[in-house]
Structure 1
């Protein structure tokens, strides 16, 4: 009995030492750096990875209005509806146990981050569940948002989980965006796509920003606050983020709640808007998730939520609650941990969480199809 108690205490202490081993940068302070060799990381191979990221810059225009219009030219009615910003060059940070072991480019520059925004939006749903505003993600959204957005035989079946896993097949129009016009198939007749009956909710994942924006609108109704304010008060201020990040909606995306006009944000930037943020603030957000939702000694987002958010969905094993998962499937990175999960956005913006190696990797404006090769080079340096 005595020896069993010693073993249990030893395991407990080792686990807690590891959990407290992360470094958390203070607000407005220089981020502490460590040499790669301090963690037995091969510096030469790490530099190869950085050079690879710098040499494989996203090929689209640095004028993101041009890149957006070109990237989504097949979409009928597509136009810029919200703010955009010319981007900088490749940039990134690699954190080991919270310390910076590598960085490149201008890490303080604020740039659009496109669908990385979706992982921030997902976190707003997690906070709502943690705080009891949403009882469970399997609840029907129409029980919370009863203004007609989820009326009808089809839309009334949609749950929060369907919206978070992009399997809702929500049908309708929001802020001038029609669900059927978002990302039509590359082959076939668009008129056939338009007239196709919506899929049964929960059965097929369809990457669709109109439906993501329906989630943002619904969460605004539940919180009765603008999403940027919820994010600032609950997450960004607590992790010491800068004051430079912004979260925009479309120019016309106003709704009235409790007699107040509020802007409903977007979950991406393919018509403009979304999250505008620096590499350093993205890295702070990643470090929060690496540490299971805790920042130093304060639990900001529950471990239970992170587990739900990173559980493969039935329609797509590589997708959870707006986080991409490195599970076996069409987006699997061969030879890398299947526990890796990441946020990804247009133009090659990524926040990668590698819990097994205590890593956060942020890379920006990397040619999107090069991310697997880049992560393999980072992994080779470990």
Structure 2
């Protein structure tokens, strides 16, 4: 129904998020105010509110700037978890139940300095991200489900500095951030980009090559994605792999970086998920992996693997089927996947309260069975 699709577009445009389009300015108005919140990755000024409706594999509606590469923020996490799934398919990871520590050796960070200052004598030159007793108990699944409670600092960002747990009063005691008891891995969900970036580092170590190369070869090229997407990281997140400098990319735009990608390329990825990892005659992703990614995690029943937000009990999207889900990033950026209606929807720069009305209007526009 073209009229209802036009109404969906109007709702989406009217629901544009009330934030500056300058992503760097937006950072310093929000996450940049956290401890150690300085930006260390690139930002891209965002475009118009954008939408893409893909029904039965065909684009039936589009608005805004569907070809503009924009920051997709935490939708990047879904691309990151995909590279973990591909490592599982390739036999590089035996099971997501495995502890991560045995897979990750001491990691050399890349630097142009040839001599260490005397003040650094006796300190380690290598990263040992799973050395502590607590961290040794963390599995791949814990990281994928954001329930690891990993402790440490990575790329200059302590785990506690991301959305710190503290009394909101100005005189809140910082010791609450530093000395809280650790939760057993797998028991408590906490959305935390430091730990997401840890998963990227561990997965890079397993693949022994940059994750953007893995994603390009295994997913993006086979699904016909454009040449305009880029997966970026932090300026200080470089390691040495087999004698070469390699950037360990970030899983979002929390301090800059992450995936910069068009709505059309996001839609292709959503269509791959809709089709259980199959593109044409190629089975690119294991359907069993997608089934696991779409399964509610023990610590949070509307979250699977990162960044699959599930419509459990129709709580996130009352107008959508319970089995539908979306990949979510700040902004908001979503890739909605609905097998019941053979439907993929990409929405960019939309406020949260407008998402369900737009999705509901799109579903209402479809032919009735």
Is it true that 1:58 corresponds to 2:42 in the alignment?
no
Q: Which structure 1 residue ranges, 5 or more long, are not aligned?
A: 1-41
TM-score (norm 1): 0.87
| TM-superposed deviation, 1:73 | 4.4
**1:327 maps to which of 275, 291, 312:** 312
| TM-superposed deviation, 1:74 | 4.3
- The 3-state SS of whatever aligns with 1:304 is helix
| TM-superposed deviation, 1:199 | 1.4
Residue in structure 2 matched with residue 355 of structure 1 by the alignment: 339
Residue in structure 2 matched with residue 162 of structure 1 by the alignment: 142
Question: Could you tell which deviates more after superposition, 319-328 or 331-340?
Answer: 331-340
TM-score (norm 2): 0.90
- The 3-state SS of whatever aligns with 1:58 is coil
Residue in structure 1 matched with residue 123 of structure 2 by the alignment: none
Question: Could you tell which deviates more after superposition, 195-204 or 214-223?
Answer: 195-204
Runs of 4+ in structure 1 deviating by more than 4 angstroms, as ranges, are none
Residue in structure 1 matched with residue 51 of structure 2 by the alignment: 92
**Maintained 8 Å contact 2:32/2:39:** no
**1:112 maps to which of 71, 76, 80:** 71
**1:240 maps to which of 212, 221, 224:** 224
Residue in structure 1 matched with residue 6 of structure 2 by the alignment: 47
**1:75 maps to which of 34, 54, 58:** 34
Is it true that 1:223 corresponds to 2:182 in the alignment?
no
The equivalences for 1:151-190 within 5 A come to: 151-185=131-165, 187-188=167-168, 189=172, 190=174
**2:129 maps to which of 142, 149, 153:** 149
Q: CA RMSD in A?
A: 1.2
| TM-superposed deviation, 1:186 | 6.7
CA separation in 1, counterparts of 2:56 and 2:36? 46
Residue in structure 2 matched with residue 134 of structure 1 by the alignment: 93
**Maintained 8 Å contact 1:181/1:194:** no
Give CA-to-partner distance per residue, 1:161-180, whole Å, 9 cap, x none.
Answer: 00000001010000101000
CA separation in 2, counterparts of 1:327 and 1:361? 19
Q: Which structure 2 residue ranges, 5 or more long, are not aligned?
A: 107-127
